[in-house]
Amino acid sequence: MRDRTILVTGGGAGIGKAAVLLAAQQGARVAVVDVDLESANATAEQATELGASRTLPVRCDVSVETDVEAAMAACVNELGTPYGVFANAGIDRAGLVHELTAEQWTGLIAINLTGIFLTCKHALRAMLTAGTGGSIVCTSSPASFVAFAAGGASAYSASKGGVSALVRCMALDYARHGIRVNGIVPGPTHTQLMWVNVPEPERPAMQRVIDSEVPIGRMASPEEIAQSAIWLMSDAASYVTGSHLVCDGGVLAKASISV
């Protein structure tokens, strides 16, 4: 990552923040893109302390194309064309299909799927203009491949299924330009997003259930997942494109019943 420009959406917290800090430790120039500018600023400050050669915090709503276009332009102007882009920003809203409003559905899709599309669109334009190739990593989910047993995840699952399909198509379309596109598939991870649909009093019990059900016996740290994204953006993954790196503690390998 040294002296390369890396752009991370959702970089103010969770897995995105962990990826920013890992890239910083390797001497990267890092654009921290987040809808919460205060969080982006705080992460950028930490990244500088950890060794980032330069940082750029940017406030951006990934569902708004003018925001994404401006964030990418700022990155190119201030740090240079990104070699690595981690399209990671996302939200979760639970609900059964017959109870979801159209606004809830479209709001989630706008961030989780359209936001990934817009991030990739403007990253690809910048990379193609520079002609230097690059690597894009998109955050998918086990929900892209199987339904969550707890239920109520139709909108989230649909958005992540779209992300995975988009990854495969972009990988084929841009391989000849030296641009690799891959997805990561995180399992249960200690982030704010993990608990957004779980009332606080219920979280300890939910934690125990998750720990008992994940084959590896625990939830991941954000850093463990971020390592996968950093690897995919590195030269060590130079022959990897159109793939999904599953880092889920064995969740997808497990049958649906525990006997």
> Which residues form the catalytic set?
156
CB 94 within 8 A of CB 80: no
If we measure between CA atoms, which residue out of 168, 167, 175 comes closest to residue 137?
Answer: 167
- Which tokens sit at 201? 């009093």
* Element housing 151 (H / E): none
Q: Find out whether 132 and 83 touch, Cβ atoms under 8 Å.
A: yes
* CA angle at 103 for the pair 109 and 108, rounded to the nearest 5°: 20
The closest alpha carbon to 142, from 210, 244, 224, belongs to: 244
The residue assigned the tokens 């779209």 is 162
DSSP H or E segment with residue 203: helix 203-213
